[in-house]
Chain A
Amino acid sequence: MSGAPVEHGYTHEQICIPENLIYQRPGTLLEQEFHYCPGCGHSTAHKIFMEVVEEMGLEGEVIGVAPVGCSVFAYHYLNVDMQQAAHGRACAVATGIKRMLPDKIVFTYQGDGDLAAIGTAETIHAANRGENFLAIFINNGIYGMTSGQMAPTTLPGMVTTTSPFGRDTKTQGHPLKIGELLALLPGVAYVTRQAVDIPKNIRKAKKALQKALEYQKKGLGFCLVEIVSNCPSNWKMTPLESNKFVEEKMIPFYPLGDIKVPQEEKK
């Protein structure tokens, strides 16, 4: 293929000159294939966050906490120091790290089951203490890793393996809007809800992650960046259908945008 002109008339070598570069794997992502299912939002979220870390020059400053969930192996992809936490305990582990190394940039990366079911207490109390780290919260409305059980964020009526007739809010509770809940706490600096279904949203989500790290550098307190995501495999949809579901069902229930911004931003 090398040297042979392709349809647009440029050779491979011509395309590969640095001036033509529009995308490359950030150095903060290891050269390791993601194990995520095709079309899964975890991959996009990893990528944009690592781009932010690289663009801010923080690769030597960051310490992350991986959850139990599909992203349990985040440390196989993210080329920064990481600890793997017990299911739900990422915010406690991050508290331990940040209290020991207050000058480092600390983040957790957690699914909805991890952050808003089994780990609710750790999340709320870390937030309430104003722990100065970032929680990245991947809300796909399902337990991806354990193959599709109901999550705290599963939409009313949504079918999962443990709500086979659709989530019945009378007996199975209502979807937990943990972002709104956390926004009430004085220790929380920044809560925003973003998505990674379409390029426009991906760019916004990336910006939000960058802001959160800037706030952490300024010592403003707990930041939550919720990312409304998908789970094509357990939603039993193609990647495209799943992104359509995000747009048509998830986002109307979980509206995107800032829920709380730091005081100084408001001025």
Chain B
Amino acid sequence: MGEIKLMKGNEALSEAMIRAGCDAYFGYPITPQSEVLEYLAREATNRTGMVILQAESEVAAINMIYGAAGCGKRVMTTSSSPGISLMQEGLSYIASAELPCVLANVNRGGPGLGTIQPAQGDYNQAVKGGGHGDYQLLVLAPCSVQEMVDFVKLGFELAEKYRGPVMILTDGAIGQMMEKVELFDQMPRKTDVPDWATTGRKKGQDRTYITSLFIEPEVMEKVNLKLQAKYKQMRETEVRYQTLNLDDAEYIFTGYGLGARICMKAMEIGREKGYKIGMIRPITLFPFPVDLYASIAPKVKAILDVELNAGQMVQDVILSTMGKTRVEFYGRMGGIIPEPEEILEYFEKQIIGGAK
């Protein structure tokens, strides 16, 4: 059993970064995730020698990540919505150059400068690719402080396995709330250097270079096909989700991260009232649990998707269920967190009551 602590989501994420043997963090302050840089500045360097650098912008931070990841190091950055928008060009380069790294988006309300309250408006940006070109981030959506810890470790494993960027898509509530967490033991810093890393040309060997420029269309297409093959493999082997009460379910509540947490409570209240509600929580948003939704759709009367946005993941639920069941959506925006009771009320009115 690992060390048990009461920790804030952002601090737990930072602690996990240190314990995962992360070599460097480059970041820029933004609410609601500034605790990450603050925590690391206090804790990291004297414990593991990890490099912590406050960059001049998120644009610089993501490009520092590019450079450091290109040296074969284990690196991570975090930000919140506006800052993540600034990182999109860099992420596209990182995906194309096949550099492993982890980043976390502690999603706040938008668009624009928006609000510092929690939201899930960045689903599409994270899952559909916010930068240019055909690339994907592998996206993990924690719904507890414990998962903030677990997904840092998992994130590095997946980033290194697939040589690409992994995003932890969380939000201001999970970043800010305190919960009990079990921490994994300190892992050693990485010592092996992958052969693609730029560390200085070895005697008698060819130079190594890292690029995302493939000027001949035939080569560029090959690079794209290679990326797509990786994404296919992710779809086949990396889908992760949590389900509850599916056995007797007539209705499904679904959502990710904070939305899922609130749904769980709404499901419990609904069950007490006698509604046979089950729950699906995608943990990987890309790859999305398409097959799970497809198989459950014909067995249930309706799926209610709850998000803290105008309805983004619900599009993937609709695509996955292929018209085999009714899909309804309930969302709040702008940093407002829906109450379980209002979700159930919506469920009773729209789905049970059958209102159109």
Contacts and interface: CB of A to CB of B under 8 A. Distances in A.
Interface string B78-98: 000000000001100100010
A188 interface: no
A38 B67 CA distance: 32
A97 B207 contact: no
A196 to B, nearest CB: 24
B71 A100 contact: yes
Interface stretch (A60-68, A213-221, A226-234): A60-68
A113 to B, nearest CB: 16
Residue of B55, B65, B70, B90 with most partner-chain A CB within 10 A? B70
Given A83-B66, A86-B90, A96 B213 contact: no
Interface stretch (A15-23, A74-82, A135-143, A202-210): A74-82
Interface of B: 23-24, 26, 51, 53, 55-57, 59-61, 63-71, 73, 75, 89-90, 93, 97, 198-203, 207-213
Interface size class of A (residues with CB under 8 A): 20 to 34
A62 B208 CA distance: 11
A83 B209 CA distance: 5
Interface in A44-75: 59-63, 65-66, 72-73, 75
Given A72-B213, A101-B71, 13 more contacts: A30-B207, A59-B201, A63-B71, A82-B207, A82-B209, A83-B66, A83-B211, A89-B63, A92-B61, A96-B75, A101-B199, A121-B56, A122-B63
Given A81-B209, A83-B198, A96-B65, A60 B53 contact: no
A125 B199 CA distance: 24
A158 interface: no
Contacts of A62: 200-201
Contacts of A73: 213
Contacts of A82: 198, 207-210
A75 B209 contact: yes
A82 B198 CA distance: 7
Nearest to B92: A86
A249 interface: no
Interface string A79-99: 111111110010011111101
Given A63-B198, A100-B51, A121-B57, A81 B208 contact: yes
A94 B67 contact: yes
B201 A60 contact: yes
Nearest to B71: A100
B73 A60 contact: no
29 contacts: A60-B202, A66-B211, A73-B213, A75-B207, A78-B207, A79-B207, A80-B207, A81-B201, A83-B67, A83-B210, A86-B66, A86-B90, A89-B60, A89-B63, A92-B61, A93-B66, A96-B66, A96-B67, A96-B68, A97-B70, A99-B53, A100-B71, A100-B73, A101-B71, A101-B199, A121-B56, A121-B60, A122-B56, A122-B60
Contacts of B55: 92, 125
A79 B24 contact: no
Contact of B213 (A63, A84, A121): A84
Nearest to B64: A96
Contacts of A30: 207
Contact of B93 (A80, A86, A100, A104): A86
Contacts of A86: 63, 66, 89-90, 93
Contacts of A83: 66-67, 70, 198, 209-211
A81 B53 contact: no
B79 to A, nearest CB: 15
Nearest to B56: A125
B24 to A, nearest CB: 6
A81 B67 contact: no
B202 A96 contact: no
Nearest to B211: A84
Contacts of B93: 86
A83 to B, nearest CB: 4
B64 A92 contact: yes
A96 B93 CA distance: 15
A89 B73 CA distance: 19
Contacts of B65: 96
B56 A100 contact: no
A79 B205 CA distance: 10
A100 B200 contact: no
Contacts of A100: 23-24, 51, 67-68, 71, 73
A125 B26 CA distance: 14
Given A96-B70, A121-B57, A84 B212 contact: yes
Contacts of B51: 99-100
Contact of B64 (A66, A79, A93, A101): A93
Q: What are the 6 A-B residue pairs with the smallest beta carbon separation, nearest first?
A: A96-B67, A92-B63, A93-B67, A96-B68, A96-B64, A89-B63
Nearest to B68: A96
B56 A80 contact: no
Contact of B90 (A75, A79, A84, A89): A89
Contact of B200 (A81, A84, A93): A81
A47 B131 CA distance: 36
A46 B202 CA distance: 21
B71 A97 contact: yes
B209 A84 contact: yes
B40 to A, nearest CB: 14
Nearest to A93: B67
Nearest to B206: A79
Contacts of B67: 65, 83, 85, 92-97, 100
Nearest to A102: B51
Interface in A209-262: none
A30 B68 CA distance: 25
Contact of B60 (A80, A92, A97): A92
